[in-house]
Amino acid sequence: MMRPHHKSSLWLGFLLHRLSGLILALFLPLHFYVLGLALVDTAALDGYLILTRNPVVKFMECTLVFLLAVHLFGGLRVLALEFLPWHSRQKTLVAASSAAALFLACLFLLRAF
Q: What is the pLDDT of residue 96?
A: 82
**Contact between 71 and 20 (Cβ < 8 Å):** yes
Q: Which helix (H) or strand (E) holds 85?
A: none
The whole-number mean pLDDT for each consecutive block of 10 residues of the chain, a chain of 113 residues, reads 66 84 90 85 85 87 86 83 76 79 82 73
**Contact between 58 and 52 (Cβ < 8 Å):** yes
